[in-house]
Structure 1
C-alpha cells in the first residue's frame, strides 16, 4: 500500500487544525456578542442564536481565517522547529502556547494599525479575549496531536513549510477569501450644471465645523485644536484664536463644533465641543467663552460626558439650539463601549440637553430618575455627527454612523431609545452581526437607513431662495461617498427619501455643510489641506431673486 508523503499529510493536518481554530473562534465571538446583548435584557431565542452563529460562520469566518492564519503559520512552524531541537519533546505544549501567542500578536498588531480601537468585539473584555486565545490553543494542540499520530505511524520524518503555505492557500480558496468589493455606482446629480463651486479658503487642517458671525466673518474649527477666523471672502484674519480649551487630538478626537449663542450680538458668547483628556481617559466636553478681537475670554468648561473612556473614536460633538434656549450636544459610543448606549447611568451613546450655563433643564425626560444621568435627552445612539432643528415643523433631526451599513436618519423625541446596539441594519466591520435584530420592541426605527454606509457628517436644512428646488430638504455630507446627499422628509417625519447626490465632482470627503446668510451652501472638506467652498447658482437670475 502506497502511503501519502509526509509533507502532504502535514498540509492536510494543518488545514484541519486551522479550520477548527477558525470555526471555534467564530462561534466563540458570536456567543460573547450575544451575551453582551443579553446582559442588557435582550431576549434571544435559540433559533436566533443559531441563525446568528451560522451567519457569522459565512461572513466573519473568512476575515478571521486570514487573521488567524498569519499567526498560526508562524507559531506552528516555530513550535515544530523548537520541538525538533528538543529531540521531539514538548510538541503539544509548544504548538498550543504558540498558537495562542500568535493570535495575541496578530490581534495586537491589527488593533494598533486599524482605525477601530478593537476589531473583534468579543475581545473587548478580558474573558472574551482569553476565550479567543483558548480557541487558538485548541487548534495548536490538535495540530500537534495529528503530527504525533503521523510520527507514530513511522512515516518519513521531516517538516515542510511549503505544505503549510499550500494549506493556507487551500483554506482561503475554500472560504472565499479575496472576494472583490462591490463597486458602488455614484449617482449623477440631477442639479449638475445648476450651480458653481468656488474655493474661499485652502490649507485648513481637517476642518470640522463652520459658523457665521453677524458681520459676515466666519469661524472654522480645525480638529487639531485651532479656531480660525476668516473674513467674509475667506481670507484668514486669525489663524488660531487664543483661549481655545486644551484639546485631546488623536484619531477622531479633537476640536469639533462651534455654535454662537442665540443672543450673540448682546453677549458675544460662543460654544465649543471637543475631546478632552488623553488616550487612556477621555471625554466629550463642552465649553463656552466670550469672543473678543483676538481670541476667547472667560472660557469655562460647562459639561463633561461621563464616564471616561479609552481610545480615540466616536465622540459625537454636534450642537444645536432648541427654540426654548436649551442646547443639545451629541455624544458617541466610544466604539468599544457600545452597550453603554443602552445604560442611562452613562452619557456614552446619547444626546444631552443643557441650559446655556451647562445646568440640566428641569423638564429633561430622565431628570427625576435616580438610575439615569439627568442631562440625557435620548439614547441608543452610535456616533451622532449631524444635528439640525427644523423650526418650521418643530422637530429635531439627527443622523448617526452605523458600522458596515446601518447609517441612520432619526427624528429625535425626548426620552426615546434609538436602538444601538440592540437593533441595527449594519454589520460589524468584521462582517459579524452586532445583533440579530434590525428592529426591537421599545426602540425607534430610523426614518432613513443607508446600507452600504455613506458615513454621514455635517448636515444642513436648506431654507434659502438661491436653490428653491431644495427648500425644506436636508443636505447631508457623506465622507465615504465624497458628496452631499439631498434628503426629503415626509410631512409626518416617519420616512425620508434619499433624493440625489450633489457635488460628487469634487471627489473630496465632505465634513460639514452649512447654509450661509445669503442662502449659498458652504462646504468643508476633510483633509490635512482642507478647503472651505461656497456653492452658488450658475444663473445670475437665481442669484438676484
Structure 2
C-alpha cells in the first residue's frame, strides 16, 4: 500500500500549487487591466506591460495570496476527502474543480463585505472572472497531480482538520460641546464648538440668506437648522425618492442664486435601485415644512449597477449655470473616457436642466452635450473662485492618486489612463502617471487622504488662511489647508487642521460671518463651528 506522504512533503506540494495559482492569477488580472485600457485606445508598449506585470507580482501578489489561500485550503481538503471515497483517479479533476469553486466563493464573499463593488478589477466581466477561476483550477490540478501517486487513506481526516485550522487562523485577516485649543507650527489658535448633533451621516451644508442652514443626511433627509444650530425641521417633506445604500444617498444641497426671489433649492442624490441607479439633480421650492413643486432636471445616463462613486457636488458659475460633478461608478472606470455617456465627468447645465449653447462639446453628435470635462474618478470637492475666475475640484484616487485640479472646459483629466494611485488590491490600474492629451493634477495625495468637501476661505476671522483651500479628509480625519501658487500651476499642502477631533470630515464650509463649519461623517454626525480663540 502506498504510504501517505509526510506532512512536510504534503505542505510543500500545497505551497507549490498555491504559488502556481497566485502567479497565474496575478498575471491574468494584469493582462485584463491592460486590455481594458487598450479597448479605449491606450497604447501600451510591451516593455511597460512587462513592468506592470512584474510590479503586480510584487504588490498585488501578496494580497491576492491572502485571498486565494483560504478558499484553496478548504477546497483542496474537501477534494481530498471526496477522492478518498471515489478513488485516486478522481483526485486531480476533483482538486481542479474544487480550486475554481473555492476561488469563486471567495470572490462572492469578499465582494459582499468589501466597500467597493468588485475588489479585483479583472473579475468585473464574465470572461475575466472565468479566466481567474481557470488559474485556480490549474493550481488545484497541480496539487492533485502532485499527490495522485502518493495519496493514502489513513491520515486524510487529520489533514482535513489541520487545513481547516489553518484557514480559521487566516480568516481574521479579512475582515455636549467639544472645545479644542490648537497651536501648531503655522496654525492660528482656534476654538471648536458643536452646534448641532445627532445627524445620520451628514453630507453637505448650505447657508440661506437669513443665516439658517440646510444639512443633508445621506439616508435621504434634509434638515433645517436655525442660525444658531437648533433644529427647526428635522426632516423636510417633499424630497424626491432617494436610493440609499453604501455610498449612495442624498448628497449636496445648493440654494438658487435668486433664492430670495424664488425660494428654490437644488439637490443631488442617488436615484433608482441597486441594479440600475443614477446620480440625479432636482430642485424644489422651500416652504416652512418642506419642498414643493419638486422637479428632476438631470440624471446620469446610462444607469449603473452597485452603490459606489456618484460624485454629487454642485456649484454655480458666475454666469448662472450649474456645475455637477459625477463619479465613475467604480466598476465602470473606463467609461470615464467615453464622451457618449455622463459617467466620470463634470456636467454644466442651466437651472432648468437645458444645455448651455457654449458647452465645449456642443455640435458633436457622439458626445453628451452636458459634458464640461471628463476623465474623472469621483469628485466630491468643488469650489468656484470668482475672484480669479477658476473652477477648482478634487477627486478621490484609489490607494493614492487623490488629485486637485483646476477644471478647464473640454479637458481630459486622465482617469483611468493616468493616475498615481494603485488599486485597493495593490494592482496597477495603468502603467502611466501622465499621458499625452490628459491634464496632470496640480497636487496629488499619495497615500490617499480621501478628500471630501472643500471650501475657499475668503472670510475675515482667519486672515492667515485667506485665499487658501480647506479640504476635508475622511481617511486622515482632519482638514488640509492647501495654497495655490500665484500662477495656479501647482499647489502646496501647507498643514493639517482639526486632527484632534479624530473624526471623518465630510464637508467644509465658510459661514457668512467668516467662521468655518465642519460636518462629521458618523452615524451620530455633528455640525461644528470653528472660530478664533480669544
Same fold (TM over 0.5): yes
RMSD in angstroms over aligned alpha carbons? 2.0
| 1:425-466 C-alpha deviation (Å, 9 max, x unpaired) | 000000000000000000000000000100000000000111
1-side partners of 2:166 and 2:404: how far apart? 42
Structure 1 counterpart of 2:435, from 436, 440, 443: 440
Evaluate the alpha carbon distance shift between residue 164 and residue 21 of structure 1 in structure 2; reply closer, same or farther with a 3 A threshold: farther
Partner of 1:142: 142
Evaluate the alpha carbon distance shift between residue 531 and residue 210 of structure 1 in structure 2; reply closer, same or farther with a 3 A threshold: same
Post-superposition offset of 1:190: 3.0
Post-superposition offset of 1:168: 7.4
Partner of 1:183: none
Q: Does 1:122 align with 2:122?
A: yes
Q: Is the 8 A contact 2:470 2:480 kept in 1?
A: yes
Partner of 1:305: 300
* Matched residue SS, 2:148: helix
Q: Is the 8 A contact 1:6 1:158 kept in 2?
A: no
* Matched residue SS, 1:150: coil
| 1:64-100 C-alpha deviation (Å, 9 max, x unpaired) | 1111111111111110110111133411221111110
2-side partners of 1:167 and 1:325: how far apart? 64
Partner of 1:513: 508
- Structure 2 unaligned blocks of 5 or more: 174-181
Evaluate the alpha carbon distance shift between residue 535 and residue 167 of structure 1 in structure 2; reply closer, same or farther with a 3 A threshold: closer
2-side partners of 1:130 and 1:393: how far apart? 52
- Matched residues, number: 520
* Matched residue SS, 2:460: coil
2-side partners of 1:167 and 1:532: how far apart? 48
Post-superposition offset of 1:216: 1.1
* Matched residue SS, 2:312: coil
Q: Does 1:466 align with 2:461?
A: yes
Partner of 1:161: 159
Post-superposition offset of 1:5: 4.5
2-side partners of 1:223 and 1:158: how far apart? 55
Tell me the TM-score normalised to structure 1 length. Answer: 0.93
Partner of 1:384: 379
Partner of 1:233: 228
Q: Does 1:369 align with 2:364?
A: yes
Evaluate the alpha carbon distance shift between residue 78 and residue 188 of structure 1 in structure 2; reply closer, same or farther with a 3 A threshold: farther
2-side partners of 1:125 and 1:533: how far apart? 44
Post-superposition offset of 1:165: 4.6
> Equivalences for 1:250-261 in 2 at 5 Å?
250-261=245-256
Q: Is the 8 A contact 1:15 1:168 kept in 2?
A: no
> Equivalences for 1:70-85 in 2 at 5 Å?
70-85=70-85
Partner of 1:452: 447
Post-superposition offset of 1:267: 1.1
* Matched residue SS, 2:311: coil
- Structure 1 unaligned blocks of 5 or more: 179-186, 540-545
Partner of 1:488: 483
* Matched residue SS, 2:267: strand
1-side partners of 2:4 and 2:273: how far apart? 58
Evaluate the alpha carbon distance shift between residue 69 and residue 422 of structure 1 in structure 2; reply closer, same or farther with a 3 A threshold: same
Tell me the TM-score normalised to structure 2 length. Answer: 0.94
Q: Does 1:354 align with 2:344?
A: no
Partner of 2:112: 112
Post-superposition offset of 1:7: 2.6
Evaluate the alpha carbon distance shift between residue 410 and residue 398 of structure 1 in structure 2; reply closer, same or farther with a 3 A threshold: same
Partner of 1:345: 340
- Which piece of structure 1 moves more, 187-196 or 214-223? 187-196
Q: Does 1:407 align with 2:421?
A: no
